[in-house]
Amino acid sequence: MDEAADRYEQPDFLDADPLGIPHRFEAPDDIAAAGFFAATLAWGNRASIIRSCDNLMDRMDGAPAAFVREATDRELAVLDGFVHRTFQSEDAKRFVRCLRSLERDGGLEGAFTQAFRDSEGAQAEAAVPDMGAALHRFKLRFFADEAPDRTVKHVADPAKGSAAKRLCMYLRWMVRSNHRGVDFGLWQGIPPSALRLPLDVHTASVSRALGLLKRKGNDWKAVEEVTTALRWLDPEDPVRYDFALFGMGVNGALAPT
């Protein structure tokens, strides 16, 4: 697992991965905004995801943070016609408004960090902070100023059992160290030890094959189960094994060669 994690955590895959989208930017607020949109759209064929992210960033004139802060209702019309699977132009507009509402809380970093701290305080005696509760709190805050009848489904909620793969992936991007040139390590208020594995078909199948996961469903309980197992391997940075599990799954190998 250690060898595979080191082998797969390399920047040469970024051009074909949604994580490559925020890597096009240098300013932390652009990285955070572009990354959040890229993570939100990260389901389906990866080539299709990249095309949709390119389309969305182009509509924002390549300046996602400024667009979120400054776009008027009239300027939001540039999002008309945008579609990625079930995420459509109305969802994109609502996301911009919701992201703008987070500015008074310190943006995405401030909102996620506060949700984490509130959940950490509520679980003061827990050995590991309740990230599921933190993601639930973040979702409530994200949609606090909107009534997102159709958009709410695009932010997962572990309180409803969701594995919240895209939120866990986004937090990995923003929190884990950038020492390998892959993740960013921009947010200091959430420790890597508190992150959870982004559970998808690849990481789940390899985890089961390796005996790290017994639960059959890919839900939040499965996320907690497999992350607990990974924490035995590296308590300070358990989700670095995301690279090993995903890489072995995509390449059809259950163990390093």
The span from the CA of 224 to the CA of 132, in Å, is: 9
For the chain, the residue count is: 257
pLDDT tens digit sequence for 212-221: 999 999 999 9
Per DSSP, the three-state class of 9 is coil
> For residue 256, is it within any domain?
no
Single-letter code of the amino acid located at 175 = V
pLDDT tens digit sequence for 12-70: 989 999 999 999 999 999 999 999 999 999 998 999 999 999 999 999 999 999 999 99
> For residue 57, is it within any domain?
yes
The Cα angle at residue 42 between residues 38 and 45, in degrees rounded to 5: 130
Nearest to 83 by CA among 21, 41, 44, 22: 41
Average of per-residue pLDDT across 64-82: 97
CB 74 within 8 A of CB 67: no
pTM assigned to the model:
0.95
Looking at the predicted structure, is the pLDDT value of residue 146 above 90? Answer: no
> For residue 257, is it within any domain?
no
> For residue 163, is it within any domain?
yes
Nearest to 199 by CA among 237, 172, 234: 172
The span from the CA of 241 to the CA of 84, in Å, is: 29
**Secondary structure element (H or E) that encloses residue 233, with its range:** helix 220-233
Q: How far is CA 70 from CA 38, 73, 103, in A?
A: 20, 10, 11
pLDDT tens digit sequence for 153-203: 999 999 999 999 999 999 999 999 999 999 999 999 999 999 999 999 999
> For residue 55, is it within any domain?
yes
Average of per-residue pLDDT across 245-252: 89
CB 145 within 8 A of CB 102: no
Nearest to 228 by CA among 128, 116, 126, 119: 128
**What pLDDT score does 121 carry?**
65
Q: How far is CA 140 from CA 2, 35, 39, 111, 157, in A?
A: 37, 20, 18, 10, 9
**What pLDDT score does 155 carry?**
96
**Secondary structure element (H or E) that encloses residue 83, with its range:** strand 83-84
pLDDT tens digit sequence for 98-118: 999 999 999 999 999 999 999
Angle (deg, nearest 10), helices 28-40 and 89-101: 140
Q: Which residues pair with 83 in a beta bridge?
A: 88
Domain tally, the chain: 1
**What pLDDT score does 100 carry?**
96
**What pLDDT score does 252 carry?**
75
Which domain does 113 fall in, by range? 2-250
Nearest to 253 by CA among 217, 215, 197, 205: 205
> For residue 84, is it within any domain?
yes
> For residue 110, is it within any domain?
yes
Looking at the predicted structure, is the pLDDT value of residue 122 above 80? Answer: no
> For residue 153, is it within any domain?
yes
Angle (deg, nearest 10), helices 220-233 and 131-142: 130
Gyration radius (Cα) of the chain, Å: 18
**What pLDDT score does 255 carry?**
46
Looking at the predicted structure, is the pLDDT value of residue 257 above 50? Answer: no
Nearest to 223 by CA among 199, 244, 249, 189: 199
- Residue 147 confidence class, pLDDT cut points 50, 70, 90: low
